[in-house]
Structure 1
């Protein structure tokens, strides 16, 4: 078995996993949610890097030759160091990919006014990663950012479906839309945020595009595997899906995952004490 590993700080990465599994159902997958240490968004660079690299190493030990960081904060603050430093000396066939670059490559195609807003965690916004990446592909695009530090806790706690969450959703939307009257596209630059999508749209004018990353990342991964047959041919293809979480409350994780995949999900608990960060 050589499955594709998918990592997120919590349940948000399931939005990406679901899209990937729909586009590429034939492959085997291992999903790891670091729920016990979520959210990552307000943590320091060093802590985010340490946690992310620990989880990547654990997925490597599960025989995953390819790991997808289905987490914008990890992609923004840990991916470059992992690729350029931590991976040195490891098996050269192993790969770690993120979600920011695939999104930056296409986001400009969604906007008519050439002005977009990026909604993300504090860590993602402070990293300036989206500003830098989007500039490479769409230099004429104006990009505004807004940190939404309370949205991930709302999702992880299950409070996002309750009426009380509307206040915090409206607050951040008002702040991003106040930055320019010409914004016509909002990127949900956190894989947790699609769970808030219906409420986000309800608080916005109908002409505002709300873009999520799942389909974008799934299509990009399919293209990547086509361009790298040396990696693709080593991936096992039995259509299996295994789920792991670092919280001992696996029933809560299973509840969320089952809703994503419209089928019962039974996850396994993995303690962070099993991780090793070299």
Structure 2
């Protein structure tokens, strides 16, 4: 792969946004709202989702393939809008792969900025993490909190039913609310001093209204989309050499490794807009 800012055949350098499925669209939505002039390419590896139950090596392999695919499309900067990929692949890609593949390009994740926000907002120093099984088992939030806020107490809760609730649009019925309440109650039973709670899966903002109904008023509920958008704006201000090669025509492109029609239908739940997608093969 050439290390030029953009491939010669592509004059655009969109910002790439990757997720194993649809949840990353909640991050993209905030990026669009806060950075409407920028061009974005969204890549969903829907054919191989979910990543959360897969091994470290497989998640790393799939994520690297996605990053390389987005680089080949001209992306100078790629956001891993997926907690599982950020937890299990980001550091290896940053430290081992970028120096040989594309040292002038960047790959960023969602976990570190989320942890920084948690630490800045919590008064009790007791925070909660709601995530997928893969994210919780990775203990990435615990490790990042230990680095940045070693005196904080972090309590996690894996919510394996929540992603299907979102994708099947079952979160507003009685059964869906039962599973939402079940995990909220389980988390709070572990630590009654929690005052700040992060939705550590990009699907979960779709459930925010339902989650809020089962939380005490004193607990702050944080979604990652706005955090990532704010941090990306700050990052580009601090790295003008990257910002200047990001194209700014307000264009959006969507790619999926699965059925185009399925992606377009389900993506509308996350973006509240109609969109046109294209199919793409990862290997």
Cα distance between partner residues in 2 of 1:255 and 1:43: 26
For residues 52-81 of structure 1, the C-alpha deviation after alignment (integer angstroms, 9 at most, x for no partner) is 111111111111111000000100001011
Aligned to 1:203: 214
Cα distance between partner residues in 2 of 1:77 and 1:206: 34
> Which segments of 5 or more consecutive residues in structure 1 lack a partner in the other structure?
none
Cα distance between partner residues in 1 of 2:110 and 2:102: 23
Cα distance between partner residues in 1 of 2:116 and 2:214: 27
Q: Secondary structure at the match of 2:253?
A: strand
Aligned to 1:29: 40
Aligned to 2:139: 128
Counterpart selection for 2:265 from 232, 255, 258: 255
Q: CA distance change for structure 1 residues 143 and 60 in 2, over 3 Å: closer, same or farther?
A: same
For residues 5-54 of structure 1, the C-alpha deviation after alignment (integer angstroms, 9 at most, x for no partner) is 00011110011001111111111110011122221111111111111111
Would the aligned equivalents of 1:170 and 1:203 in 2 still touch at CA under 8 Å? Answer: yes
Q: Which moved more, 1:116-125 or 1:106-115?
A: 106-115
Would the aligned equivalents of 1:10 and 1:156 in 2 still touch at CA under 8 Å? Answer: no
Cα distance between partner residues in 1 of 2:196 and 2:206: 18
Say whether residues 1:65 and 2:76 are aligned partners: yes
Q: Secondary structure at the match of 2:101?
A: coil
Aligned to 2:148: 137
Q: Secondary structure at the match of 1:59?
A: helix
Aligned to 2:62: 51
Q: Which moved more, 1:203-212 or 1:23-32?
A: 203-212
TM-score scaled by length of structure 1: 0.93
Aligned to 1:267: 277
Cα distance between partner residues in 1 of 2:53 and 2:180: 18
Cα distance between partner residues in 2 of 1:12 and 1:84: 26
Cα distance between partner residues in 2 of 1:37 and 1:165: 25
Say whether residues 1:218 and 2:220 are aligned partners: no
Would the aligned equivalents of 1:42 and 1:149 in 2 still touch at CA under 8 Å? Answer: no
Q: CA distance change for structure 1 residues 161 and 40 in 2, over 3 Å: closer, same or farther?
A: farther
For residues 146-197 of structure 1, the C-alpha deviation after alignment (integer angstroms, 9 at most, x for no partner) is 1111212222333333332112111211111111111112110111111111
TM-score scaled by length of structure 2: 0.91
Would the aligned equivalents of 1:11 and 1:192 in 2 still touch at CA under 8 Å? Answer: yes
